[in-house]
Each structure stands twice: as structure tokens, then as C-alpha cells.
Structure 1
Amino acid sequence: MKDKPDTRELLLKVAKEEFLYKGFEKASMRTICKNANVTTGAAYFFFKDKDDMFCHLVVNEAEVILSHIVEIENENKIIRDDKKISLDSAIDINTLQIKGILKYMYDNFDVFLLLLCKSIGSSMENFYDKMVECFKNLNRDYIMNKRDTGEIGVYFDENILHNLVSLQVSAIVEPIRHQLPREEALKQVDVIARFFYGGWNELMRLKKA
């Protein structure tokens, strides 16, 4: 049918409004269809269920961010191995990396508000955890090697690594959760980058007595 693409896009537009207002769990396919003036049968022609509809709204952007994190950590491996890069330069690079993440999130603000605040009950509710795991997995070998060689002289295990990485990711996404203006969020990045980079650097300096 000629109007099928238009119907699908209308359903997604109305669904996004419903999910943003009520969250995934409380959103209703019946209400979405009613507001779009579309039958439930037509909705199920395009989408398997409510979760499928939600995923169509967010999955592409979620994958972009997770892939970007991998790219960032690959860059950081090179930076860590380059003895010529000063601490201030490394912090500047990290600041730009975090700003890149936030800029993309603000370019797709509604999508990441859905992922971070409205996704409970959906198959995408673990997006934040995936971000944490991605950062953690890419840093694990480097940090645990530092621990095993005595360059981190305090007690340090997987749980501590997870907690610290989770704090870092939380600091990055909090502006989205609190719906701060884009400019204010980007202003915070300099402090966030310096705080966490300085913290990790301090851990690396703690030699065993």
C-alpha cells in the first residue's frame, strides 16, 4: 500500500511521545494506535509488539554509542603507550572524547532519554549497563596488569573496577537524565574528565610499600 511507510512513521512518532510521557512499562499499544488513528492490527503489521516498536526508536543510536566507546578506548591504548604525551594533553584528549559522546547524545536527545530513563521493562533496559561493561572490558587488562605488577598498591578487584567505571559513565550521562541544557552539560565535561583522569592516574602512582 502506498501509505504504509507513512503509517509506520506515524506510529513511531506517536509511540515516541507515549514512551517519553509514560515510560515503556506503562505505555499502551492501544493508546498509541488510538492517538495515531491506526488499528491495532495495522500496528502489528509493522511491529511484532511494543518492545519491537521501542527498539526501532532507539537501537541504531545505542549501537553507535557502544561502537564509539570501543573507538575511544582503542585511541586511549595508543595514548597510554606514548610516553611523549603529557598528563595535560591526555586530559585534553579525554575531554574531547567525552564531549563527542555527549554531543551525539544531545543530537539524539529523545532517544537517549528513552534509553536512560524510560526503558525499564524493555529489552533495552540494560543499555546503561552495556555502556559500563564496554568501558570496563576495554580497560580491564590494562588496569589489572597494573595491579598485578604492583603499580596499583592498594586492594583492587573486579568489583572496584566496576564501581569506578560505573561512576564515570554515570557522570557522563547524568546531564541527559536530568535534562540539562546542552551548553551546561558540555561545560561540565572539563571537570569530569580532569577528575576521573586524575583519579585513575593517582591509583597508578600508589606503589606497594
Structure 2
Amino acid sequence: MQIQKEDSKERILKVAKEEFLIKGFKDASMRVIAKKSGVGLSNIYNYFRNKDEIFCEVMSSVLAAFRKMVDDHNAPEHINLNVFTNSDFQHIMINDFLGLINKYRQELKLLLFYSHGSSLENFKEEFIQESTETGKAYLQKMKEKYPHLNSNISPFFIHTISSMWMNIIGEVVTHDELLDSEIEDFVREYIAFSTAGWKRLMKA
């Protein structure tokens, strides 16, 4: 019985994901999800309270990937001047970004542009704010480790950089014509540009 229940739940999530990707959250139909999953509409509510809960479950993997990206930013090994010069650090950043895009391209597009009406519709603004706080904490940790660094950087600048990063993700996922090699070239260029700018700003 438990196996059958879990199988039904997975079918609902699989069909719901397809429906969300095609129509966005607002226009996705619970009736269509019920019909295509083979689970009666009333029975769906035995698994999920509402459409929003289904949506959040569908998006849980990409949300976890974003969370990991934020956590990794302040990881002890990144509190190091080598981030400005070491090609291995930059290679990791490139691979992390490409991994996120390659694995969750459609989910990212859905999350950033077609989540209106859901509890995740403000994700972009909330993530920018969280990234701003993460950036401020990162500067403080770098200053503690390297007192000679300049950490007197305006919060609005950090906020703007965080916003730009989210817009970059949005640009990449909406340009379906981009080849993987073109995305990799762009990310490499952006990281080189960004790293040089932070190095000069922090007087590293």
C-alpha cells in the first residue's frame, strides 16, 4: 500500500512538473494534472494540500541547488586571497554555474519568470537580499583574515552585484539558442571580469 501511495505521488509530481513547465504556475490546471496522472482530483489532496504545495515540491531540487550555491560562497576554503588568482577556484565557479544551468535550465526559467501566484513568486528578490547579506558576511570574514583588505564597500553595491548575478542567470536560461560552449565562454569571461574588479576594489 505504501509503495502504491508513493508511486501515485511521484506520478502527480512528474505530470505537474510538465504542466508547470508548459503553462507556468498560474495557468497550470489541477484537473489536467489529475487526468494525466491517473489520480482523481479529490485524491490529489490526500497527497498535497494545494497546487502551491505541489509546485514547491517540484521546485525543491533547484531551490536546494541555489541554497548550496549560497552556502558554498562562504565556505572556509573560499575565504582566501587565492580566489583572485588561482585558476582552480575559478574553474570550480565555472563548473558550478554550468552544472546549475545544465541540470535545471527549464526549472530556473519557470522559477524566475513563471511562478506568479505561487509562494515562490518573490524568490528572485528574496534571493538577491539573501545574497547581499551573504556578500557582506563574506567581506567581513575576508577582512578578519586579511586586515589589510578594503572591506568598506557599500551595501547597495553588493545588492546591485547580487541583482546582476540573478539577471545573468535569467538571461542565460531564456536564450535557448545558446550552445553549451557559448555559455561556458560567457561564464569564463564574466568570472574573469568580476574577479579582477573585486580584486581592485578590495585592494587585494
TM-score by length of 1: 0.77
2:109 equivalent to 1:108? no
Q: Give, as a single letter, the amino acid of the residue that structure 1 aligns with 2:155.
A: E
Deviates more, 1:91-100 or 1:9-18: 91-100
The answer as to whether partners of 1:66 and 1:131 remain within 8 angstroms in 2 is: no
2:149 pairs with 1:158 = no
- Matching residue of 2:27: 26
Contact 1:19 1:27 in 2 (8 A): yes
Shift of residue 158 of structure 1? Answer: 2.2
Tell me, in whole angstroms, the C-alpha distance in 2 between the residues paired with 1:29 and 1:41: 10
Question: Which has the larger displacement, 98-107 or 185-194?
Answer: 98-107
The SS at the match of 1:122 is: coil
Counterparts of 1:50-129 in structure 2, within 5 Å, are 50-75=51-76, 77-80=78-81, 85=82, 87-89=84-86, 93-129=89-125
Cα drift, residue 165 of structure 1:
2.0
Equivalent residue number for residue 189 of structure 2: 191
Question: Which of 145, 148, 171 in structure 2 is aligned with 1:174?
Answer: 171
Aligned partner of 2:129: which letter? E
How many residue pairs end up in the alignment? 197
Structure 1 position 167, deviation (Å):
0.9
Contact 1:11 1:33 in 2 (8 A): yes
TM-score (ref. length: structure 2): 0.79
What does 1:129-148 correspond to in 2, within 5 Å? 129-141=125-137, 143=139
Q: Which structure 1 residue ranges, 5 or more long, are not aligned? A: none
Structure 2: gaps (5+ residues): none
- Answer whether contact 2:132 2:155 (CA < 8 A) is retained: no
1:170 positional shift: 2.4
CA RMSD of aligned residues (A): 3.0
Query: How much has 1:77 moved relative to structure 2?
Result: 4.5
Q: Secondary structure at the match of 1:45?
A: coil
Distance in 2, Cα, partners of 1:128 & 1:204: 27
> Residue in 2 aligned with 1:200?
198
